[in-house]
Structure 1
Amino acid sequence: MEFVVLPDHQASREVKKLVPRSDKARVINHPSGQPWIVGHWSDTDIVSADAGETRMVLFGPVSTSAAELLRRLERVRTVGEVDSLARSLHGCFHLIASVSGLVRAQGSISSACQLFYGSVAGVTVAADRPQTLATMTGAGVDEELLALQLLAPFGPPWPLSARSVWRGVRALAPGRHLEIQPSGVGRTRTHWTPPEPDVPLASGMFALREALEGAVAARVREGRTISADLSGGKDSTSLCFLAARHDVSLVTLHVSSSDRANEDRLWAERSAAQLPGVNHVVVPMSDTPGFFAESGLAAAQDLEAPLTMTRRPLTEYIARFAASRGATWHLQGVGADELFRPSLMSLHALIRSRPLAALPHVRAMKSMRRWSAVTTVRSLARVETYRQWLSASADHLTAERVLGTGAGWEVASRVPQWTTPEAVDAIRRQLRRSASEAPDPLSTLPVHHEMLRLIQANGTIVRAGSRTVERFGVSFQAPFLDDRVLTAAMSILLADRHKADQVKPVLAAAMRGIAPDSVLDRQSKGDFSPDLYAGLRRHRGHLLELFEDSHLARLGLIDADGPRTALRGMHTDAGMLMPFDTTLANELWLRSLPSHASLTSVGTEPVLAEGAS
């Protein structure tokens, strides 16, 4: 699925011709007859309704039918009235409305459904892919923003994260939508802000349960097959039990770690035994391509931006599995950690709102992380304003990363140690320039700002993963990233998000009576670190070859000897491979750019020649 949104303006007929593959595209018109939405999609991707001068299109899983949408749309007279309709829907979707010539377009808070916009032929145009707009305008890549993509682990901080690497293209911020006047002038407006965490868990868990039930229900089709991860943890298990309540054929997949100490397989099999009629499949990691496989590294990359896809070969394996079972949607538990596992920033906020309630959790964290009293106080000290934090982050780009210490508005960004001084300077300029503009954070509460940034990182992963496998006819779906789920989770009192004997107490409370108590009370969770190392060893030779003639090095962004040295080294902590993963993503992305692109080094104009796409 891909689409472009045009204004109700006479220029749209000419702009439509600039849309890639426009001669074979599907077109939905404004009530005036001007082209409105141009692109490629299947009938299962879309729910639409036409009520005279008001039209609406929803792309993606959503809890409404065309008939129901029409009944509700008949009462809409202004684009502002779209708010209540949108908030009432479950699912994760793009919403596009045309009301008396005024266009409203938005994606999801998580960015799993993201929307980009820019100016084409003098009018504002939106699209679900930034490279589409770049192709229409002949824009190239912003080289300073390309340097920012090297930042690990999640790329540039807000608001630089909302800027596309393609010149002249912007991404909608969380909770904002785009309005395009009939004149072609566009502006963004806010329709959602983070809720205050003022709802007790005793009542909030019911709203969260309803949101999760609705999120899964929006993705099931009665009598059809749906596939899902079943890792053995709370997240995927909860989704599987919610899906099993519907009249669907449920196929669950567990990719088993090669680590014999990993108990996830046992927990997954216990859960599968309690799922009615489930077809549970266990696949040893050794039977999959694993991590860093050459098949994934050699594949064409999504041109949106450099996106870390170390798991891409495994991602494609899962998609093939889902397709072989007749499923078009595959459920994943992505996003639950960020919503339900209390972070250091959550504890930081709790200390300031209810210090006595926070003390037991401070002691527990001090013990768990083996902190001294001084380290504990320093780690939970007052956080500066967002402007101060953003400015200070420019000074710490090359500092050593110490995992698990220090509270900040976002996970601290660091450049890989092989980044060139010129690239580091380019990144610092961008950060300081952004800080000088005093940007507002995504939330006045640091813990919610952090949560939104992490949720957006997850949304990007899901979006990129789905595009990677769309040729198999499969879409990855992450119900925890839905707007209504996110809002319900963020509304819970900070004090109720912490519980000494629960890893994710809010999710456990919401799913009690639906998922097995034994899983909801589970305190441990395995990971794939041994398999990550195994993939690195197995494919080290090919990875080394990639950096023999590095595009990043040609641009003056890295010293190619750095990642090659890292590949040959020993790593006691898999987290330290994050900088390499980010660098690899950038290298592969550059190699996927069109062959006629003119690449130049840092400090020259531009990385891509005008006219390249």
Structure 2
Amino acid sequence: MGQWPDYELRATRHNHRFVAVIGPCTMPPGDMERLRTFGVPDQVAWRWPGSYTVMEITPQRTRVWTDLGGAWPIYVAAADDGVYWASSSLALAGLTGTKPNLDRLATWLVAPSVLLPAGPPHFEEIGLAPAGHRVTITPDNGVQMTRVWSPRPRSGRVSERLRAELSAAVSVRVDTASTPTVDLSGGYDSTALALLGQAATSADKTLIGVTVYPVGRAAGGDLDYARLAAARSGIVHRLMPLDADHVPYTGLNVLPATDEPAPSTIAYARFSGQLRWMRETLSTDCHMTGDGGDSLLCSPPIMLADLLATKCYRRGALEAIRWARLRRVSVWPLLKSAYQVAHTTHTETLRSLSQSLIADINNSAMEGDVGWYASDSVPPWATQESRTRAATAIASFPEWKQEPAIGSFAATLATEGMVEVGRSARADIQLSEAIGVPLHNPFTDSRVVDAYLSIPLAERPGPADYKPVLREALTNLFPSELAARRTKGDFNPDHYNGMRANLTELHALADGRLASSGLVDRTKLQRTLTMTAAGLPVPFSTVEPAVAAEAWLRSLDNTPGVRWVPTGNTGAGR
């Protein structure tokens, strides 16, 4: 599904072997010849720069290799006495007639920090192939999923590897685009892509950096950093003003249908407005964002448990002190929770969380969020039905999950975080396709993910460090003022304004599919929305998942299902 330019489609056949590589990729022509002649090795998933999936079909089997960053999710479903696989769960739901998976939605609503990178998808009776795996489908309808990649610690020259892979990831897009654009928000991640893109742009092509800003605030904060980066690099810089029509929570009734609730749902008015403006004003045919940079480049606090578990006590204590100072909390609860995590399996943690959800007990992580999930409490509008469904989904998670090795907690959590970002960003790409602008997220590319997550524990930056590897990788490109930055802009005022402007529509959303399914208490959710709009101390995390999920369900109701046409069997698997 989707829009596929010719340069993202490579396919060849040799005797009875059919091989295809789909997605932006810099594979040399000779490599395609070797694949079709000798078969596909497992390392193919991260062999070349870009973001792609690989498939091999023979009379004996169908094999599909998923990327490492989750940007190319592959789904499977049983139907017509066979096995179908597709790049869209929405498409398979149109084939099988399955409904949204309420267990998955419930987990997302009441425990959003619990990552489920391999299941279940947002539609019933549809399976998700984990990232970094090989899917094998045989003529007898057997389906096997085999892990072919996990982080491999490699010492030395991490910043050089990261720069080389990011440069290649950006070049893949810039080289094939006529008018490439990139977010230039003033932060590390988007600025890095813009600067590397400018360095990779040929003399006959222009890279345009796009910065959005609120009307009346044409200076200060993020905008100043964006202007500085553009001026130092020679990037063509275009500004798009945001007015009242672009505030969050606007236009949620016109969302196109996607595989799951899109990350940009709440900000859809701004997201779609920027894409349309770039298409109409700039004629962009490739837009890059820095999505995924935070999940990849910031070490999670669970790294403290890694250090204690591997008996690196001195560094563990030092990193805990630095993290405590940054968070303005006491260091001793941090060390205590890190010790507990180091001596408790992930499976035990998930089972404890599952039990606490059923019993309606607050099972928050220790102070400082040193754990496998954040210390978010269950929203006040969550029903017993939603807690029970979430508990069921979480309890089944350990059935397939391999327990992480000692010292690999941070790498495992970062890997799962990247998969979550990459897979959910596919929904944003579906939104952008409906507008006519190809969207790309280079930080989720397989080789970029592999390069950074290869950092050994002894060389990994601490959780208090703000992206030092990226800063070092671009030391000769980043303006010194940007390199010294350690904060991001605050968008909370825009969210409050948007919620107040759209409160009537949000109250109507609260009385929707989630409420009728028993997952949400309509009255309590409406009260929470009112309190949040009034500026009372209610975290946005207690309302945004419910609003995004309800908007997604309504988009499914308002969109015709994907239509399938029978054409016959073409090989092992459909």
TM-score (norm 1): 0.82
Deviates more, 1:416-425 or 1:474-483: 416-425
Structure 2 residue aligned with 1:91: 50
Q: Structure 1: how far apart are the matches of 2:452 and 2:54?
A: 23
Point out where structure 1 has 5 or more consecutive residues left out of the alignment.
3-39, 598-613
| Corresponding letter in the other structure for 2:195 | F
Range 413-422 or range 450-459, more displaced:
413-422
Which residue of the other structure, out of 516, 521, 545, is the alignment partner of 1:559? 521
Q: Does 1:232 align with 2:186?
A: yes
Alignment of structure 1 residues 127-142 onto 2, 5 Å: 127-142=86-101
The structure 1 residue matched to 2:136, chosen from 148, 170, 179, is 179
Matched, 1:423 2:386: yes
CA contact (8 A) 1:108 1:483 kept: yes
Match of 1:375 in 2: 333
Structure 1 residue 126 displacement after superposition: 0.6
Name the structure 2 match of 1:107.
Answer: 66
Would you say the 8 A contact 2:110–2:382 is kept in 1? no
Q: Hey, what's the Cα distance between the residues in 2 that align with 1:559 and 1:461?
A: 26
Whole-angstrom CA distance in 2 between matches of 1:581 and 1:491: 34
Give the letter for the 2:171 counterpart. Answer: A
**C-alpha deviations, 1:315-346, integer Å up to 9, x for none?**
11221133221222211111111111222112
Q: Which amino acid aligns with 2:267?
A: R
Match of 1:164 in 2: 121
Q: Residue 345 in 1 paired to residue 305 in 2?
A: no
Distance 1:290 1:499 in 2: 36
Q: Is the 8 A contact 1:227 1:251 kept in 2?
A: yes
Alignment: residue pair count: 546
- How far has the Cα of 1:261 moved from its partner? 9.4
State how far apart, in whole Å, the 2-side matches of 1:48 and 1:482 are: 21
Letter in 2 for 1:132: A
Q: Note the 1:25-174 alignment, pairs <5 A.
A: 41-64=4-27, 67-74=29-36, 76-79=37-40, 81=41, 83-99=42-58, 101-154=60-113, 157-158=115-116, 162-174=119-131
Instruction: Give the RMSD, CA atoms, in angstroms.
Output: 2.9
1:55: Cα distance to partner? 2.9
Q: Is 1:440–2:402 an aligned residue pair?
A: yes
- Distance in 1 (CA, whole Å) between partners of 2:229 and 2:50 is 25
**Change in 2 beyond 3 A, CA 1:574/1:448:** farther
Residue of structure 2 equivalent to 1:320: 276
Which fold has the larger relative contact order, with Cα–Cα distance below 8 Å and residues 6 or more apart in sequence?
2
2:257 aligned residue: 302
| Structure 2 counterparts to residues 573-612 of structure 1, below 5 A | 576-594=539-557
SS at match of 2:18: strand
Q: CA deviation at 1:73?
A: 2.5
Question: Relative to structure 1, is the Cα distance of residues 222 and 356 closer, same or farther in structure 2, using a 3 angstrom cutoff?
Answer: same
Aligned to 2:425, which of 419, 439, 462? 462
Structure 2 counterpart of 1:280? 237
1:336/1:577 CA distance change after superposition, 3 Å: same
Contact 1:139/1:167 (CA < 8 Å) preserved in 2? yes
TM-score, structure 2 as length reference:
0.87
Per-residue CA deviation, residues 180-236 of structure 1 (Å, 9 max, x unaligned), is 22444332122111223x523xx2222222211111111112672100001111111
**Aligned partner of residue 329 in structure 2, secondary structure:** coil
Matched, 1:333 2:305: no
Selected match of 2:487 from 524, 530, 542 = 524
Check 1:425–1:580 CA distance in 2 against 1; reply closer, same or farther (3 A cut).
same
Decide whether aligned partners of structure 1 residues 71 and 428 sit closer, same or farther in structure 2, where only a CA change above 3 A counts: closer
Partner of 1:207: 161
Corresponding residue of 1:221:
175
| Structure 2 portions without partners, runs of 5+ | 561-574
Residues 334, 366 of structure 2: 8 Å contact kept: no
Alignment match of 1:393 (pick from 338, 353, 356) = 353
The answer to whether the 8 A contact 2:213-2:223 is kept is: yes
Tell me how far apart the structure 1 counterparts of residues 404 and 464 of structure 2 sit (CA, whole Å). 31
Q: Which digits, 9 at most, give the CA deviation of each residue in 1:533-570, with x for residues without a partner?
A: 121122112212322x3222112211101121112114
